Every structure is written in structure tokens, then in C-alpha cells.
Amino acid sequence: MSATIVAREITADHIAAEQQQLARTWAQPRGLIGFLSDVDPKRIGMRFIVTALVFFALGGVLAGLMRIQLAVPENHFLGPDLYNQVFTMHGTTMMFLFAVPVMEGLGLYFTPLMVGARTMALPRLAAFGYWMFLAGGIFLYVSFFLNIGPDNGWFSYVPLAGPEFAPGKRADTWAQLITFTEVASLVGAIVTIVTVFKFRRPGMTLDRLPVFVWAQLVTSFMIIFAMPAVMVASTALILDRLVGTHFFNQAQGGDPILFQHLFWFFGHPEVYLIFLPAQGLMSTLIQAFSSRPVVGYVGLVVALVATAFMAFGLWVHHMFAVGLPAIGTSFFTAASMMIAIPSGIQIFSWIATIWSGRVRLEPPMLFALGYFVIFILGGMTGLMVASVPLDLQVHDTYFVVAHLHYVLIGGAVFPLFGALYYWFPKFTGRMPGRGLGVASFWLLFAGFNLTFFPMHVLGLHGMPRRVYTYLPDMGWNTLNLAASSGAVLMALAVIVMIVNVIQSLRSGAVAPDNPWHASTLEWATSSPPPPYNFYPEPVIDSRDPLWNDPADLPIVIGVRADRREVLITRLLDAQPDHRYHSPDPSIWPFVTALTTTAMLIGSIFTPWAVVWGSIPPAIALIAWFWPRPSMLNDETHPPENARPELSAATGPP
Amino acid sequence: MHSVLSAAGVEAQSIQSHWWLMFWVTLVVTLVVLGGLGLAVARGLRAGAIGRSDRGLVTGISLAIAVTVVILFGLLIDSVITSRVLASQRAPGALEIEIMAQQWWWSVEYQHPEPEQRVRTANELHIPVGRPVSIKLLANDVIHSFWVPALNGKLDAIPGHESTLWIRAEHPGVYRGQCAEYCGAQHAHMAIVVVAESPEEFEKWIQAQRQTAHQPASDPERRGLQLVQQSACVMCHTIRGTAAGGRMGPDLTHLASRSTIGAGILPRTPDHLEEWIRDPQRIKPGNRMPALALPDRDRAAIVAYLEQLR
């Protein structure tokens, strides 16, 4: 340790006094204004998770409507116009309002806890991101109920979504929703990167970072590189529609294929924005329930980084049927198949961990094992659709619907539910019910396979995607009915989960700090954690501090408790660097989000909304960044750039 | 009849072989990996002590990855070979067809050096067995995708672009296809029928198609023709040899030689035709054909006329 280590006596009384002071300093502000001003990463993360789960339920209801419509041929339950809105809303909701935000919420909640920090970096920015996400989601659903919900698919290809073939406001709604989610994702990514780089507890060098935090870090960088492409695509689309530009109008020298390139340059990495955090969750669950450090840590991290790089080289495999030159498409076949290598590294490492560990089949572990079955099948069909000739047959059929749900539900939703179950005691202080947990797993597992496995066969037998009905003599009736009945089981599984949550909240056993005997730092504090996360804060001495670290490690001292102060460490070696006064709660992120929302929605109706509408957010931002007296150092305390100390003395355990 | 796995064309057959190779390889891999997982869980559940050393395990992972790479390389080679087989089907002397995809039907034109020998039809094409066919795909509104699973993979028809799909049927038969790229309200009902027949039968068919419309023989039929020429039908439809010359909708010159109406939504029978003309929007909501207010007797006459357009 290059930091100064001083010997100092710390008594139990001192710790109790300090904890009280910290609780006052970091307390959640009261009242409605306080609620809207909150900057606690745990509550912002939890708001992301709960809101995203509500959208998951809405997206699920839409899926249910589609399965009712398709249960029998020539059904009149939904007409073509409504069906096309419903499938567009389902895809848009699940991708933009559920999968990405829920992973972001877990990241905001657990990244600071797992790196041992009191809070996250830029908490007001994170709060702003949440309000933008919420506003975008409400905007989309209000539009849907006003019959201006998008109906051109979650990909919104031109010219179908262009000014000529999509009159009205439906396509604008889609394009502007993208803006909301872009903003929310980008600020989340920046917050995560800064937190991981600068807020780690002393001793938590990069090679001791939990795999889940690595996954969040890699995902955040992917967001920064992928989002600009869809930003260009949706902005150019809305300009074509609203102010008469011709980016995608082939009659005026534009090109509809340009839209597809831009969209998929984002759209393929988007899949990995969902999948990589879930891989991090898998490593977390496998490690905890195999009771041993995950095998091949370095390989797992390298696999995450490799997947992120490769994800940007695959986008054309969504466009094989466009008729691009053969040599180019073969390259993308090779690149798409290559991504099986990092996925393989992770799967084999987890199997090795289970093999050499002591396995406990708690419900989170069941969900993790469900991942293997479903995701591996999805990976295999992924190899098939990576092959140009085979993809030309199955592209845009139910085979791909099956494939993508195996990959995304198996690869992301199963680990997610496992993780929510795993972290439930940390969130709530109550243990989740085991019996209902097991029941919901089996219902979901059986329902999922009954719903989506027949779709492989339907696709091979010629059923295209995005059809609102089909003729009775196509030979698709039985399999569609099977798929629809599977959807009933999936709905039951979700209901059982909700019942379990309610029951556990009301009468679950009180959770100890570390009920699963896991190794990472979020389990080193109470359940649920106090607003300041940790006190005292011993330095980190290994990758699995709760399993390996001795009890007499130095602790961090000298970080003020009477204001929101955090310790900043250096990027590579996590040595203490300086103290930082973290921003206090503020209403201005909420006001900024509100005024930005007004501008964005107004811009659908008139371009002048961009001009006049940018004034209120500018005012809100000035208020947001107005210097506070507390930002200046006072003389009774050492200046912020004075390096904090580590104390060799430890408090009582 | 419309399955990837009952291939009847050269291209689809080579893709089918590629499918079965991939199917068996991935099935074995899946079973091996899940079997390994099952063994691992069984061992992990019984374990007393926890393995501390990673060394042997990391070697095992590396070996598994090496095997993965070899398998992937094999699949990649088979994929590239299949692609080359597909690309090698282009041949001189092919039958040339141009298809204009539009919301929500297919306009088909058989090419010929002499313009008057060209044949225009809709939603149904006939091809000779054994002869390569090149299909030039165009679109005049949004993106569509031409796909007849039994014959070949799909190819997009994109406004402002031109792409060519090659097919060669090996067996006579009727193969159904459908638009595969989401193209709006009636994407679900944009089917196409491909009839593969012997070269002699095909020659007979195309000769018949080159003729102008059959002259009505009976009174109701004559009255039907008269009604068609007086009504809005002529604004959108062509019936060669009559005053009907519109290009918005399908060419009806030989409507009665086709098996379906409404781009595959109904079999072509007099009853269905009557129903379609009465209210196309009820059968296929959103399609471009309006309902015409006609007395039942007039509609029956029109149906009688159309039904004799062989």
C-alpha cells in the first residue's frame, strides 16, 4: 500500500456515532419534492428495476394478445391494424423499456455496493436518466392508447416508416421514443464507467473486480459506441418525416438500405447490451451456489470484452436477404460464428465451476441451470442463422422468432429472474419463499419451451413473422395452438412470482446480511443496506473478500461523515487519491427531464419546438449546476485533495 | 408444398442438405454439453470438499474450446460451399421473369425480346421443370421479400434497387410462397403460387397467356364485359383486348387460369369472386381495391365474364 497507514484506536462507540451521523447525512429527503430529488443509487436502481418490470408485464400482455390472435387460423380477435401496433409495441417495449433498463437498474443498484463505495458517481445524472426513461415509456403507452402507437416493427424500416407510407404520427412516436431511451442509456453508461473507474474501495484492483461489474463496465462502453448509430438513424428518419429531408428517399438520391445499416450497427450490439450483463449475473449465481470462486476468472473477463468487440462486426447478418455481395456476407457468417467461442468459454467455465464446487439447488440456481438448456439451444440456432444460405431460408420466419426468444429469454430473462430472487433479501430485508420460487421456475421453463419450441418448426414450414393471421390449410394450426397454450403457462409463472413477492414482503423470514454465503461486497452490509452503504470500510485484499479476506485489514478513515463525501481511488491500482463531495439531492434533474420531455414530444408536431423548447431545459440545467456554498472547502477540515488515510486499527467485527 | 424441408428445387435442396448437417452437429454438441452439465451438477451436489485448484479445469476448458473452434470451422466451410453452389446456378438460356412487388400482391412479367410477346400476370407463375429461371425483383412502394421455401431462400425487393433470384425446379408441383419482409397492413396476405410443370405444358401455358382476352360467348358474359368497361374496374385492371388498361391492380386477362384471388387469400371459385367484388375490404382490410356499389345481378354478370377469362 502506498497510502499512509496510521495506527488509530477505533472504539465501538465511535463507530456507532459515526453511523448515526452518516445516516443523517445520507438520509432520503422527505415529501414529494424529496422523492423527486432523490439521488441514492439504490433507490434510482430500484426505480429502474420496478418500472422495467411493469413494462415487462405490459409487453407480456401484448404478447398474450398476439398468441390469442394466432391460436387459430383466420382469427378476428385483433384486426391487422391493431395486430401490427401490438407486435411493434411488444418488441419496442421488451427491447427498449424492459431488457436494457432492467439491466441498467441492477447495475446502478449493485455497482457501487460491489465495488464498496458509499454512492455512485454523478448521481444526479443517473436520476435524470431515470426520469427520461420513465417519460419515454409513458409517452409510448399514452400514444398507443391514443391510437398513435408505432406500427412498423421495432426496427421501423423505411420506406414503410417514411413520410409516404406512414402518414400520421405513429412512426414519429417510435423515432422519438428512441431519443428518450438513448439519453437514459447513455447517462447510465457514463455513471457506471466513472463509478467503476474511480469509486472502488482501496485494494480492489481491476483484477479483483466482480465479474458482474466487469460485465456492466463492458456493456457501458458498448452503449457509448452503439447508441450514436441509432441516434443518427432515428434522427434522420424524423427529419425525413417532419422537415422533408431525403436521407432514405431513393427517388432523391437517398437509400433505404442506409437505414438498415445504421439500425443494425446499433441493433446487433443492442442484443449484447442485454446479454452481457446477464452473463455477469450468471457468473455471480454460479459462483454463489457452487460455493467456490468461479473457474477461469481471466477467461470470463476476456470473453466479455471479446464478445463486446465482436458484437460490432455482426450487424450484416440481419441483412443477408437484402442481396449484398457474397464475399461480404461470408465475412459476416464467419464473424457471427466466431462469437460462439467467447460464449463457449463462459459456458465451459461455469460447468467447470459447478463440477468442482459444492452445489446448492436454491431457486436462483435453478434459473441459472435453466439458462444452460435454453440458451444453448438458442446458440445452436444462432449458428444456423449465421450461415448465409440457411438464413436466406429461415430469415423473417418463426424460426427466427424462436431463436431470438431462446437467446433473449434463456440468455437474459432466466438469469435476471435468478438474480432478482438472489438479491431479493438484499433489496427488501426479507427472504423470498422457496416453494413458490421453485414452482415459478418450472412453470416458466415448461411454458417457455411449449411456447417457443414449436416456432422453430413453424418457421421451417414456411410461416413468416409479423403476420396477423394465416390460412387454415397451411398445416400451421396445431403448432400455433401449442404455442398459445404455452403462453398461458408463462403467464401463470409470472403470477406465481408476483404472489411470491407479495407474500415474502409481508411474512418472509427476516434476512441476515449474507443469507446465501456469497463472496461479494454487497453482502458485507445489512439487508437492505443503509443509505451510506458501508461503515466501517475495510480495504480489499482478494477477489472474494467475504470468503478470503482476514478480519484485521486496515479500514478507511478521514472521509467526512457530516456531508456526502466519498473516497476517490486511482484507476488501475485503486489506491486512495482524494475525497470528493458527492452531489446532494436536487429537484433539477427531474425538472430538466420534464422540460426536455416537453421539447421532444413537441418536436413531433412542429420543428419550432426544438428552438423554443430548448430554453426551459437550459434554464433547468443552469439551476442544476449552480455552485453551492458547500462546494467550497471550509477551514475546519482538511482540503479535499489531501489524501485520506487508512487506519491499521480495526473496529470490532 | 411450402416447407424448407421438402425442397423441390436445386437451390433449396442444397440448403436442405446444409440444414441437416447443421442439425445433427448442433444436436450432438447440445447433448454433449448438457450431459456434461448434468454430470457436473450431480457431482457438485454430492461434493464434500471444494476444489481449490483451477489448473486441471482450465486445461479442460481450453480443450473444449479447441474442439468448438474445429466444429465451427467445419460448419463455416459447409456454409461457404453451399453459398457457392447457390451462386453457380446462374446459367445462360434462363427463363427471365420480372416481378414487381407491391402492397400487397405480385405483378409478374415474362420477358421476351419482342415486347408484344411479353406476358403479364399476377400472384402466380408457371415455370418449366429443369430449366434455370432468373427472377428480377423490383418494388415500387416499400420493401418486400420473395420467398418460395421449396425452391430457394428469400431475396428482398427494395425500391430503387434491383436484385435477381435464381430458381430451378427439379420436380413438377405447386409451390406456395409468401412475402417475408413486413410490408404493412396486409403483409399476412401476400402469397404467390409457383406451378412447376413439364417444358411442354409450360410452353402450352405461355402460348395461352400471350393471347388477348377470351371473347364472351353468352349474354350474361357479354353484359359482364360491358359492365367492366363502364365501371371503375378499368381504372386499375388490364384485360388485354378490351378497354380495360389500368396498371394499379393485377392483370386480369387470364384470371380464370389462376388458382387464387386476392394474392392467395381465397381459392378462385365463382362464389369467392362474387364475395371479393362485393366487399374486398372485409376479406382483406386495407387493400387497394374499393367495394363497388353494384346490384347483385350486375355483379353476377361480371363474375360470369371474369370466370371465362381462361
pLDDT number for residue A652:
42
Measure in Å the smallest separation between the Cα of A518 and chain B Cα atoms.
Answer: 15
A552 in the same domain as A488 = no
A223 pLDDT tier (thresholds 50, 70, 90): very high
pLDDT number for residue A264:
95
SS3 of residue A185 by DSSP: helix
Measure in Å the smallest separation between the Cα of A412 and chain B Cα atoms.
Answer: 19
Domain ranges within chain B, ordered by starting residue:
1-206, 219-307
Q: Which residue among A153, A291, A338 places its CB closest to the CB of B182?
A: A153
* Model pTM score: 0.95
Name the average pLDDT for chain A: 92
Query: Is residue A407 a part of any domain in this protein?
Result: yes
Q: How many CB atoms lie within 10 A of CB B88?
A: 11
H or E segment and range at residue A398: helix A398-405
Q: Give the range of the structural domain holding residue A485, as residue numbers without chain letter.
A: 363-509
Question: Chain A window 383-442: which residues touch B at a Cβ cutoff of 8 Å?
Answer: 383-384, 386-397
B47 contacts A344? CB cut-off 8 A: no
SS3 of residue A565 by DSSP: strand
Question: Chain A window 299-338: which residues touch B at a Cβ cutoff of 8 Å?
Answer: 299, 321-323, 326, 329-330, 333-334, 337-338
Measure in Å the smallest separation between the Cα of B202 and chain A Cα atoms.
Answer: 26
**Spatial distance between the Cα atoms of B220 and B222, rounded to a whole number of angstroms:** 5
B72 contacts A337? CB cut-off 8 A: yes
A574 in the same domain as A496 = no
H or E segment and range at residue A100: helix A100-114
Q: How many CB atoms lie within 10 A of CB B307?
A: 17
Strands B266-267 and B260-261, how do they pair?
antiparallel
H or E segment and range at residue A248: none
Per-residue pLDDT tens over the stretch A82-100? 999 999 999 999 999 999 9
A489 in the same domain as A567 = no
A498 in the same domain as A382 = yes
pLDDT number for residue B51:
65
Whether A351 contacts chain B with CB within 8 A: yes
Query: Is residue A368 a part of any domain in this protein?
Result: yes
SS3 of residue A511 by DSSP: coil
**Spatial distance between the Cα atoms of B192 and B261, rounded to a whole number of angstroms:** 10
Question: Chain A window 279-298: which residues touch B at a Cβ cutoff of 8 Å?
Answer: 290-292, 295-296
A502 in the same domain as A370 = yes
Per-residue pLDDT tens over the stretch A501-554? 999 999 999 999 999 999 999 999 999 999 999 988 899 999 999 999 888 888
Written as nine digits, the cell of A596 is: 426536455
Per-residue pLDDT tens over the stretch A408-458? 999 999 999 999 999 999 999 999 999 999 999 999 999 999 999 999 999
DSSP β-bridge partners for residue B9: B169
Query: Is residue A381 a part of any domain in this protein?
Result: yes
* Chain B positions in Cβ-Cβ contact with residue A295 (cut-off 8 Å): 54, 57-58, 61
Optimal mutation site among B24, B65, B82, B179, interface A, most CBs of chain A within 10 A: B65
A554 in the same domain as A483 = no
- The single-letter DSSP state of residue A578 is E
Higher pLDDT, B54 or A79: A79
Whether B281 contacts chain A with CB within 8 A: no
* Chain B positions in Cβ-Cβ contact with residue A329 (cut-off 8 Å): 83
Per-residue pLDDT tens over the stretch A468-484? 999 999 999 999 999 99
- Cα–Cα distances in angstroms (integers) from residue B9 to residues A564, B126, B157, in the given order: 72, 14, 21
**Spatial distance between the Cα atoms of B140 and B62, rounded to a whole number of angstroms:** 53
A80 contacts B186? CB cut-off 8 A: yes
A500 in the same domain as A378 = yes
- The single-letter DSSP state of residue A95 is I
Find the mean pLDDT for residues A284-311: 95
- Cα–Cα distances in angstroms (integers) from residue B129 to residues A354, B36, B51, B199, B201, in the given order: 57, 49, 65, 6, 10
* Chain A positions in Cβ-Cβ contact with residue B147 (cut-off 8 Å): 396, 464
- Interior angle at CA A595, CA A630 and CA A618, nearest 5: 55
Whether A252 contacts chain B with CB within 8 A: no
Query: Is residue A193 a part of any domain in this protein?
Result: no
Per-residue pLDDT tens over the stretch B42-55? 999 997 777 667 88
pLDDT number for residue A647:
64
The answer to whether the beta carbons of residues A614 and A155 sit under 8 Å apart is: no
Q: Which residue among B3, B40, B83 places its CB closest to the CB of A460?
A: B3
- CA quadruple B113, B119, B122, B126: dihedral sign: negative
pLDDT number for residue A639:
54
Strands B191-197 and B124-128, how do they pair?
parallel
* Chain A positions in Cβ-Cβ contact with residue B149 (cut-off 8 Å): 393, 461-462
* Chain B positions in Cβ-Cβ contact with residue A386 (cut-off 8 Å): 79
Q: Could you please report the per-residue DSSP string of B118-164? A: -EEEESEEEEETTS-EEEEEEESSS-EEE--TTT---EEE-TT--EE
- State how far Cα A61 lies from the chain centre: 21
A572 in the same domain as A470 = no
Q: Which residue among B50, B57, B187 places its CB closest to the CB of A358?
A: B50
Query: Is residue A421 a part of any domain in this protein?
Result: yes
Q: Residue A315: which residues within 8 A CB-CB, separation 6 or more?
A: A261, A264, A265, A267, A268, A269, A332
- CA quadruple A409, A411, A412, A413: dihedral sign: positive
Strands B119-122 and B105-110, how do they pair?
antiparallel
A358 contacts B153? CB cut-off 8 A: no
A490 in the same domain as A399 = yes
A406 in the same domain as A483 = yes
CA-CA-CA-CA torsion for B184, A134, A624, A196, nearest 10 degrees? -100
Q: Which one, of B49, B41, B30, lies nearest residue A351 by Cα?
A: B41
A567 in the same domain as A502 = no
Q: Which residue among B22, B142, B286 places its CB closest to the CB of A387?
A: B22
Per-residue pLDDT tens over the stretch A141-174? 999 999 999 999 999 999 999 999 999 999 999 9
pLDDT number for residue A650:
46
Whether B38 contacts chain A with CB within 8 A: no
In total, the C-beta contacts within 8 angstroms joining chain A to chain B are: 243
* CATH number for the domain formed by residue range(s) B219-307: 2.60.40.420
Give the residue ranges of chain B where pLDDT is below 70.
Answer: 1, 51-52
Question: Chain A window 470-499: which residues touch B at a Cβ cutoff of 8 Å?
Answer: 470-471, 474
The answer to whether the beta carbons of residues A210 and A217 sit under 8 Å apart is: no
**Spatial distance between the Cα atoms of A440 and A453, rounded to a whole number of angstroms:** 19
Written as nine digits, the cell of A481 is: 395452438
SS3 of residue A621 by DSSP: helix
pLDDT number for residue B166:
95
Query: Is residue A416 a part of any domain in this protein?
Result: yes
Query: Is residue A290 a part of any domain in this protein?
Result: no
A466 in the same domain as A412 = yes
User: Is B123 exposed, middle or buried (CB count within 10 Å of its CB: 0-12, 13-18, 19+)?
Assistant: buried
Q: Is-cis flag, bond preceding A73, omega within 30?
A: no
**Spatial distance between the Cα atoms of A444 and A370, rounded to a whole number of angstroms:** 10
- Interior angle at CA A626, CA A622 and CA A630, nearest 5: 165
**Spatial distance between the Cα atoms of B106 and B121, rounded to a whole number of angstroms:** 9
* Chain B positions in Cβ-Cβ contact with residue A86 (cut-off 8 Å): none
Q: Which one, of A45, A12, A14, A27, lies nearest residue A114 by Cα?
A: A45
pLDDT surpassing 70 at residue A645:
no
* CATH number for the domain formed by residue range(s) B1-206: 2.60.40.420
The answer to whether the beta carbons of residues B146 and B192 sit under 8 Å apart is: yes
Q: Please tell me the total count of domains within chain A.
A: 2
Select from A491, A509, A527 the last residue of a domain. Answer: A509
**Spatial distance between the Cα atoms of B70 and B55, rounded to a whole number of angstroms:** 23
Per-residue pLDDT tens over the stretch B53-106? 788 899 999 999 999 999 999 999 999 999 999 988 888 889 999 999 999 999
Query: Is residue A249 a part of any domain in this protein?
Result: no
Question: Chain A window 90-119: which residues touch B at a Cβ cutoff of 8 Å?
Answer: none
Report the range of poorest mean pLDDT among A6-15, A129-138, B97-106.
Answer: A6-15
**Spatial distance between the Cα atoms of B20 and A21, rounded to a whole number of angstroms:** 68
**Spatial distance between the Cα atoms of A402 and B260, rounded to a whole number of angstroms:** 31
